[in-house]
Structure 1
Amino acid sequence: MENRSGRTPRGAFTLVELLVVVAIIGILVALLLPAIQSAREAAKRAACQNNLRQLGLALLNYESAEAHLPFGKRVEPDGAARSWVPDVLPYLDQQAMVSDANYDLNQDWWRIQSVYVEDPANPGAFIPDPSGGPVPNGITVQKFLDIMVCPSTTIQERTQFKDDGPVGHKIGACGDYFAPEGVHSRILNELPNTAPLGAPFPEFPPGVTANSNTVLAGVLLPFGAGALPAWTTTIDGDPRLQLIKKRVSFPSLSGIADGTSNTIMLGECAGREDVWRGRKLTPANATRGDVSCARARGGAWATNDNTYAIGQRIQWCNSSLTGVSAVPGTMKINNSNEWGHLYYSFHPAGSQFAFADGSVHFVSEKVALWVLASLTTRSGGEALSGGDF
């Protein structure tokens, strides 16, 4: 039939042409999506780096003002159990959070009352006793601090909730950064018997074994009077050595004999209190009697459990502080975020660290374990350079 308009009829897309277009779009999306995800992770990694840099500078500013660094944790007979974080909040423009109205440094980090009594309606459970007087700490520590959370962490806002018998509930907002106490001798189970030639190997004293319960100290030392695990130390100045003499020895920059640029001050243990092994999540459940019990303890930014000595395999649900558990996998960065193990982040292929000189470095998960251990000690005498990590 003649086209009366005089124009040539325009054919539609064939099915083959349409499929080709769809295939091209699919290929472009497949090519662009990893690039977009990589760009997003790069931005998150930069934000995480900035968090660690600010925290590191806050610790250095604290040291400049006080002539010493804060303890990694405090555990005293009269209370005041807490992490290093409340001490540095004034240097992070958060003075109000630790003002007298919002935080009592002479009380445990989790308290809302100074005295707890057994609940008459529920024997075996304990409730706050109003006659003891209110304590603001337990409310303040439930506030989420953006600077304590890595943007790459899968679940951003997490809360530690632990029912602790006579002292009630220990509740606090979680964070992703912690101060390593040092290196536990149990890491000898993971290290080769003989160090490779020239390796910066952690130097435990002669005769120390994996069961010796010895710790090579890190930067922010712990302070405690009978409430810490019965660890020994090889480092002069550890405050646990001074308790008998009634003299407190504070951690300081001058005690970092390995060099501030070669010593980790803060690292990532992200995702707590949920348990992460590899990239597999087990949601937190702090009830030890439950079959679903799972807890990467120390998640709350204010808890004295924030810090630990690396190199251990401790499963909180089935063992005591000194027990050996079945945390699986090779001991390396990003293997597990459970207390005492190592370092863990949600960054692909590694984790970020704030060093004692104020710098921040990304360290590959392929780094040798003995290098990571040597970076964690403050006075181990290992010879390190930037090329080692």
Structure 2
Amino acid sequence: MRSSERRGFTLIELLVVIAIIAVLIALLLPAVQSAREAARRAQCVNNLKQLGLGLHNYHSAINTFPPGVGYTEVANNPPYWGQWSGQAMMLSYLEQQPLFASCNFSQRVDNGGGTNTGANTTVNLAFVGMFMCPSDGNAGRVSGNRNSYFFSEGTTSLTPSTVAYDTTGLFTFQKSYGIQNVSDGTSNTIAASEGLVSNATNTLKRGQTIMNVGEPTYFDVFSTVPIGQSPPGATLTSALAMCVQGAQLQGGKGNQWANGDTNYTMFNTIIPPNSKQYQFGACKSGGGGVDDAEYVVASSNHPGGVNCLFADGSVRYIKDSIAWQVYWQLGTKEGGEVVSSDSY
């Protein structure tokens, strides 16, 4: 009578099985992550398309797009704080009528007493999902009314101001532009793009956000001639060099969608997307307030570029490698340039 034998895995066989499983995971995980990022990017595109639809519905009713920032005069408040953003002014065209009704436009957004006090507390605490890119890791990790989508000033940089400025882009302070102002063609003019939300200090997950050159001023890189109080003889190259050298750093990009500001709700097409040489939330070389932000860079966690909403309502992917000159041309509404789609 023979005894039955029990046979198990040898150590070598077990290690081989573990190695095979590890290889399969290594092969499948990037594919899963890529599929998830593709879904997040598609949602980001959808958010921008909704924003574009809202802009055109607003334009149909008002005959202009909203101003990038609208000013509300309140006594004993700084002249450049608490101004309403274009996003806030078009809430009713984004299926956000209840939130729009809660906005007290006769008062500043922060009412001079901080972002969570006064007449607009509800607005300052409101999280609007379509204003957040799902690929941004800070979307659910920071409090307040965060914002991922920024209206374009074109190749012009602005500090907060109560003065109406002309910009080369589609949005500015205290002034509105319409389709009639877009002689370059709505399909050739960027209306908005995305930007990574910064925390309240000086850190960002990727890229750079803001630089300031001078106090309240207007800087058009096409002319390379600074206006107002910009440093004498400043050019784009020297302006960037000043920020690289250090000085003052600031965070807070995209921290408030309702409070209109270059830092919070507007960007410019001066520095190409995701420029990696600028690693801080903000940088300024002027001598004014810490929020006098000037150059805001489009940025994202999508691989190789950012989604951009154009004035015709279409959304296209702009690569990080786009030529600076082409990026500038896409930012202007009436620069007279001819831009081929092959160039980006």
Counterpart check, 1:177 vs 2:149: yes
Normalized against structure 1, the TM-score is what? 0.64
Q: Deviation at 1:77?
A: 3.8
Secondary structure at the counterpart of residue 304 of structure 1: coil
The one-letter amino acid of 1:181's match is E
What displacement does 1:66 show?
A: 1.1
Write the distance in 2 (CA, Å) between the matches of 1:127 and 1:375: 34
Q: 1:50-69 maps to which residues of 2 (within 5 A)?
A: 50-69=46-65
Q: Could you tell me which residue of structure 1 aligns to residue 106 of structure 2?
A: 106
Equivalent residue, structure 1, for 2:129: 146
| 1:304 match | 260
Q: Please say if 1:89 is aligned against 2:91.
A: yes
Partners of 1:62 and 1:184 lie apart in 2 by 24
Deviation sequence 1:202-254 (CA, Å, 0-9, x none): xxxxxxxxxxxx9752112321xxxxxxxxxxxxxxx4xxxxxxxxxx31011
Give the Å deviation of 1:28: 0.3
Of 177, 192, 196 in structure 2, the residue corresponding to residue 270 of structure 1 is: 196
Q: Structure 1 regions of 5+ residues with no counterpart?
A: 117-125, 129-133, 161-171, 187-213, 224-238, 240-249, 283-290, 324-337
2:84–2:258: 8 Å Cα contact kept in structure 1? yes
- What letter corresponds to residue 307 of structure 1 in structure 2? M
**Are 1:157 and 1:174, in contact at CA under 8 Å, matched by a contact in 2?**
no
Matched, 1:257 2:183: yes
- 1:3 matched to 2:2? The reply is yes
Give the ranges of 4+ consecutive aligned residues of structure 1 lying more than 2 Å apart after TM superposition.
Answer: 75-80, 157-160, 272-282, 291-294, 296-299, 308-323
CA distance in 2, matches of 1:368, 1:292: 29
Distance 1:40 1:355, change over 3 A: same
Decide which of 118, 131, 155 is 2:138's aligned counterpart: 155
After TM superposition, the structure 1 = structure 2 runs for residues 22-41 of structure 1, keeping only pairs within 5 Å, are 22-41=18-37
8 Å CA contact retained: 2:109, 2:115: no
Partner of 1:73: 69
RMSD: 3.4
CA distance, structure 2, for counterparts of residue 39 and residue 127 of structure 1: 38
Aligned residues: 281
Cα distance between partner residues in 1 of 2:195 and 2:68: 15
Distance 1:62 1:156 in 2: 27
Q: Is the 8 A contact 2:64 2:179 kept in 1?
A: yes
Matches of 1:277 and 1:339 in 2, distance apart?
Answer: 17
Say if 1:280 and 1:351 are closer, same or farther in 2 by CA, change over 3 A: closer
* CA separation of 1:384 and 1:321: change in aligned 2, threshold 3 A: farther
1:1-389 maps to which residues of 2 (within 5 A)? 2-4=1-3, 9-78=5-74, 81-99=83-101, 102-111=102-111, 135-157=118-140, 172-184=144-156, 216-223=167-174, 239=175, 250-274=176-200, 275-276=202-203, 279=206, 294-305=250-261, 306-311=265-270, 316=282, 319-320=285-286, 340-389=295-344
Contact 2:58 2:65 (C-alpha < 8 Å) held by counterparts: yes
Change (3 A) 1:293 1:346: same
Query: Rg larger in 1 or in 2?
Result: 1
1:109-147 CA-partner distances (Å, limit 9, x unpaired): 122xxx76xxxxxxxxx999xxxxx95313322111000
Aligned counterparts of 2:6 and 2:133: Cα–Cα separation in 1: 57
- 1:363 counterpart SS class: strand
- 1:72 touches 1:222 (CA, 8 Å); kept in 2? yes
Report the secondary structure of 2:2's partner residue: coil
Deviation at 1:269, TM superposition (A): 1.4
**How far has the Cα of 1:10 moved from its partner?**
4.6
Q: Once the 2 structures are TM-superposed, how far is the Cα of residue 310 of structure 1 from its aligned partner?
A: 4.2
Q: Which residue of 2 aligns with 1:163?
A: none
**Alpha-carbon distance change, 71 to 280 in structure 1, aligned in 2, over 3 angstroms:** closer
Letter in structure 2 aligned against 1:87: M
Looking at structure 2, the residues matched to 297 and 310 of structure 1 have their Cα atoms a distance apart, in angstroms, of 16
The structural deviation recorded for 1:159 is 5.3
Whether contact under 8 Å (2:208, 2:281) holds in the other structure is no
1:383–1:216 Cα change, 3 Å? farther
- TM-score scaled by structure 2? 0.72
* Distance change (3 Å), C-alpha of 1:252 and 1:315: same
- How far residue 276 of structure 1 moved from its aligned partner, in angstroms, is 4.8
Percent identical pairs in the alignment equals 35
- Shift in Å, 1:375: 0.9
Aligned residue for 2:218?
none
8 Å CA contact 1:60, 1:69 repeated in 2:
yes
Q: 1:367 to 1:75 in 2, by over 3 A?
A: same
Match in the other structure for 2:224: none
